[in-house]
Structure formats: C-alpha cells, structure tokens
Structure 1
Amino acid sequence: MEDVTAEQLNKIQKQLTERYEHKQTVFQQEDDPLVKDYVEAFWQRIVASKKFDLVSVEKLSRMVNMDTLQHSNAREIGAENIAYQTWEKLQLTPLLLSAGFTPEQAKLAATQVISRAVYPASEFKTARWIKENSAVCELTDYDMDKVTKDRLYQSALHLYKAKDALEKHLSSRTNELFDLEDKIILYDLTNTYFEGEKRNSQLAKFGRSKEKRSDARLVVLALVVNIEGFIKYSSILEGNIADCATLSAMIEKLAAHTCPGPAVVVLDAGIATEENLKLIESKGYKYLCVSRTRLKDYTYVPDRLTTLLETKSKQTIRLRSVTTEKNTDYYLEVKSPSKEKKEEGMKLQFEKRFEEELQKIHTAAPQGRNKTNR
C-alpha cells in the first residue's frame, strides 16, 4: 500500500472498524476515492474469509435490545409540545400576569388550556389524564400533584373573568403573527340546550331551539370570526333573545377589539333588520347580507357582466347585478339551478301529500252530508 499516506491508512482502518461495528457516519462523508476503494476491497476479503461472526457482532452493536425493552411511567408529549409552543407564540403567560394572575395561576391556566386542546373532556377526566397519561406539567412547570378537578374549575373561572382581555389580545396577536387585515368579518349565532332544568340560571331560557328541543332551556352563542377563521369576539346570551337584538353589543366590541377602520360585516337575514344595517353604517362599516324582503320590479344592470361560480360540490351559481328605483343598496341576484330543482321537488311533494290528505278526507266523509265539529 505504497500509494496511500499515513492519514489515508488511518481513515481506512477507522472506516473498516465502523463498518464491522455497524456504525454510520452522520456528519462527515468520505470523498477520497482511494480510501473508498481500499475499504470496499478489504471488507469483501473479510466477508469472504468468514473469520468473524458478523451476525453476533450485529446483535452486540445494538444500542438498545428491542427484545428486552421495558418501560414504566410512559407519557405523551408530542401534541402537548405543539400546543405549548403555540401558547408561547401567542404570549399568553405575560398577558395573564398583567391581568392579575399569580405565576402559579398562570402555569395552571396553561396546563388546563393545553390539556383541553389535546384531550377535550370534563375537568374530572382532564385531571386524571394529566396524572396518568400526559407530560404537560413537564412543559408548563406546574406541580402535577396539585392538579385536581376543583383547581381546574377555579382556573376556568379565572380565565373567564379575563375573557375580554384575552379575546382582544388574541385578535391583535394572530393578526401580527400571520400579517392579516380584518377586511371581512363574519357574524352568526347559534344556540345549545341543557339537559338539566337550569331553574336558577339567568341566561338559560326557553326559546326557539335550532336542534328542535323546545322542551329544554337554551343559551345563545354569538361568534365573530375573520375569513381566516380566527375568533375576534364571542358572547353567551340569553336563550330567548332575538337574533336582531344581539348586533349592537357585537359592533361595540368589534370596534374595540379589532376593526376600528372600515370592514365588511357579513350576517344572515335574521340579523339584518333596517335598524341594524343603519347601526353598522353609523359605525363606519359596510355590510353583506341576504335581503329580508323579496325585491320587486328590479332590472338588470346592463354594463355588469354575469358571473358564474362553481361550489365545492361542483354546483354552478349565477350572479347578476340588479337595481331598483326605491333602494340605493347594491343588490345581486343569486340563482342556483340545482337549488331550484330541489325547491321544485319539495313543492311537488308538498302538493302531492296535500292532495292525498284531501282525498282521505273525501273518502272518510259521509256522502251527501257536511261533516262538522260541534
């Protein structure tokens, strides 16, 4: 081997040993062709000579013998770590401290929020999950032995007291992180019912349930989001409140939280009363909604093009600009052929059932006499 230097000999020896011990070089790859050729040639001679038990060497070279591996107190940390990094990016701990939380209360709040994000369950199940399955306390530095359902209940109440400050902070912080401008705001309502009687509740009232539960008390949930899906404002209202009566408080919060400047508020027809639309305009916003009244005697705007849109379900929607003499708002006629077919089918089905019931009445009524109730 007169054609190699001392340094090359050392490399050949090292690489042969590493291959024999099944070690791999991660950070530095050999680029000397002479060294590579000698290593490969010597290794083939070693294998051919059968002087070494390569199978036994492979077993001995394992860092961990998977056949005898045992573990105890194993805990999950993957999803918790992602949620914790999000908590840190949102800078929620400094906010809670400025809102009057003690350092320990802030750690418990972080523990609870992360746990509920990863494992949404009751306070009782959350406490048990933290103690038995999760390493979330290793991230938040909260003493796991202090976690109880009662402490989680108390922490939730503390967080709810800081609700306005949290929503305002999250609204501006998410805009900063993702470089967003809230030009379009979506506002909608829903309601949910309670299985219990809730007799002493000031919010739970009987109302019009969207889940057809007229027998149960309700609360109304109001939510404002931007088009990226980030929550701007939320509220829990009385179950019997009218949809149109909720807008005033929402507009005031919206201006304080996120959008002091011009933006378009998207809302449905149930909220879009004349008074509410005037209120939106008085605050400097624009609006987009479904008209509560059916337009009559309107004409198509001749210099506006007809627009065809395709929905996610591959249905075509046609948009045309229309105008009327009495209204100054900008109107669009929205037509969907598939929806028209569906509505026509519903109408025909209703007419058929109505005629069938009439026929039943005719068949059951005595001939030649009028059947009346007394």
Structure 2
Amino acid sequence: MLFDLTNFYFEGRKAGSRKARFGRSKEKRNDCRLLVLALCINREGFIRYSSILAGNTSDPKSLPGMIDKLAVKTSVTSKKTLVVIDAGISTEENLQGIKEKGYNYLCVSRTRLKDYSLSKDHRTVTVHDTRKQEITLREVQTRPEEDYYLEITSPSKAMTEASMNRQWKERFEGEMEKINEAITRKGGTKRYEKVVERVGRAIERYPSIARHYQITYLCNERKPAEMQKVNWTIKDITAIDKNTGVYFLRTNVRTFGEQTTWEYYNLIREIECTNRQLKTDLNLRPIYHQKDERSDAHLFFGLLSYWIVNTIRFQLKQSGENAYWTEIVRRMSTQKLVTTEAVNALGEKVELRQCSRPTKQAERIYSILKMKQAPFKKIKICRSQSPPRGSS
C-alpha cells in the first residue's frame, strides 16, 4: 500500500469551518486556509482508504493514524504489506513504528549516504523513465541486519539540480552583496551584530548552497561596533554539483533486488504526478465552498474522477502505454467534432455532424480500451427555415 498526502487551499475566509486551517501549502499559498487529503493506494493505484484532515496536519504525524485505520477498515495482512512513502513522511520514528506493527516499508532516504561502498558484485541495472532517459540503479553494501539501500543516479535530475544550484548561488551572492551595500550606504545596517544576523538569515534561506561558502567578517578599526565588510569565497566549486542527480531508496526488505525496488517506488511517483494533474485539469483547487460538507463533496467528486483516470491509465499500462493523463488528453483532443451547415434547393437548412479521423496515437488508445474510433456515426439534420417576418 502507498500513502500520499496533499492539500487544497481555499479562496475566502472560511471562518466557520472546523477543518480549514492555516498550514504549509504545497502550492506556496500559506496565506490561505487549507484542507489535507490523505490517501492510501494499492499497487495498481486504486484508492483503498481516504480521509479529509485539518489543514494544519503535518505529514509525519498523520502516518501512524492512517495505518491503524487502514488495518481496521480493510483485510490487510501485515506480512505481505509494503508501505511506500515519500521522504516527507519517512522519519526514523515512523519507520520504526511501521516495523513494530509488522509491516515492511520503502522510502526515499531523508539523509544522503556518505563514505559508502557498493555491493561486491558492482552490478549496475539500467532502467528508463517516462521520457526514455536512462537511470542507473546500484546496490549499496550494508550488513544483513541493516536496511537495504539502493543508489539512484538520474542524469535528468542532475541537470535540474545543477540549474537550481546555479540559481541559489546567484541569489545567495546577491543577498551578500546587498548586505555590503547596506554597510556603505548612509542609514544602512552597519552594526556588527545586526550584519551577522542578516548573514545568518541568508544562510537559513539558502542552506544547500551556503554550506559551500567560507564567510569572514572584517570589523571597522575606527568604529569597532560596526562592520566594515563581509567577505565570502567558495570552498570547492566542484563540490556544489558533485552529488547532483543521486539519491537513495531505503527498505527493510532485502530480497526485492534493484528492478523490483525501483518499480515499487515508481508507483508513488505516478500517484503524486496524478494528484498534481487532477488539481489542475479538473480544477479541484482552489476550493470556493464555505461549508465543510460542500468542501467534502467537492473532494469526493475529485476522488471519483481519480478512479476514472486511474482505470483508464491502468488499462493502458497493461499494454505498455505509460503516458500520463495530460498526454492522454492531448492525444485524444486531436479528434474533433465537425459541423457543416448548408441550405438545399428546397430552402431547408441541413446540418451534417461527423467526427474527424483519429490520429494513430488516438487509434492505439481506442484499440487498447476496446472503444469505437468515433463516439457517434454521421448525423444529418434537416430543418425547414421559417419565413422572414412580415412576409405573407
């Protein structure tokens, strides 16, 4: 089973709600009240349990309660159950709790391994993502009583992280330049303690890149209480992008192997992607309802939509078609309804409606789903035109 939590923000005060609360919005809308939707999903992506929680519910705290409720409401056997969670929920406390309840777990390691060695056979397994880009999997050498770790190396992820590092580097250095400008500007922040505080806030804002910098403070000799300048240098520029594109999967099941571990983890990635698509494509956010029962109904219809989407995608994946929902919609939207209007010799208005021919990609989807390639046959409608007003 796979656990996933996402939240939805409201437009409006929502003052009388018992559930809507301020919290950490995944859409960066911390100015709005939120609702949290908790989902438990099986291997095929179908919902087994769902719950609407208060908007201030944090991811790690929600997991133990969800596991207990699922065990009561469903016939889950702990010996065969694998709990797949993302890094936001996989705290050491939660992992220990999952193990104590008799379940197995698979997650992204919250900490990057250091000074590790690969397994003795040094086997590398290559898989491909949905964009046909290569991803390499290598087992990390650990003791039999320890968890199984799998090193994941993704070139596309490395490019994304390198681009983000360059962006954070520019922003961090920009903050440092503003601090030095304020020191030299009349009325700017010059006091030594205040300048150090500003540097500390910049480090807190960009911690991933700030740790690669060596920062020194130069005190004003004539005015010891003031700062003269803040200097910064990069310790090792090659270290910034050294481990980009590398992360680790962690599980207490050592018998899966590289391929199976990756396939199990990939399920939660697809679920998170589907969540994002449903929020945008089906307009589940923002929520405009002011009553809790209407908000619950809004999300309930969203879950019904999820079932439809996942049923279609499940049938397509059985035949090797792994496209996401947005891509499926794009392919099918190429087929159009064409309406042709004309007036015949009898003065009748004739309408002819027919579907355009589907593309080869759309034909493949129709074929897999065992559906007709046209929603309806050609329709011909004849209407007698009414005479103009004032005519006899």
TM-score relative to the length of structure 2: 0.44
Higher helix content, 1 or 2:
1
**Which TM-score applies when normalising by structure 1?**
0.46
Q: Which has the higher contact order (CA 8 A, sep 6+)?
A: 2
- Look at both structures and tell me which one has the larger radius of gyration over its CA atoms: 1
